[in-house]
Amino acid sequence: MERIHRTVGSGSPLGPQIGFSRAVRKGAHVVVVGTAPIGDDGTTVGKGDVHAQTVRCLDIAEAALEAA
């Protein structure tokens, strides 16, 4: 059985410098970490709106899972 190991970057320019990955797949397991409500432009999405921030975090996590 082939063991898959894959990392998914966050898109941050600091990722490669500090070794941060949004998600890591090892075999059948995927871990998603460090998700904050940051938009594509680098600003906080939904300031003062917990629901909007939660939706953004879940969207980011979903995209990381799909990429892993």
Provide the pLDDT for residue 2: 64
pTM of the model: 0.77
Q: Which domains does the chain have, with CATH numbers?
A: 5-67 (3.30.1330.40)
Provide the pLDDT for residue 48: 97
More confident residue, 5 or 36: 36
Kindly tell me if the per-residue pLDDT of 13 is higher than 80: no
Q: How many angstroms separate the CA atoms of 38 and 66, rounded?
A: 18
| Amino acid at residue number 4 | I
pLDDT in tens, 17-65: 877 788 999 988 999 988 889 898 889 999 999 999 999 999 999 999 9
Q: How many angstroms separate the CA atoms of 2 and 46, rounded?
A: 42
Q: How many angstroms separate the CA atoms of 5 and 62, rounded?
A: 18
Provide the pLDDT for residue 1: 55
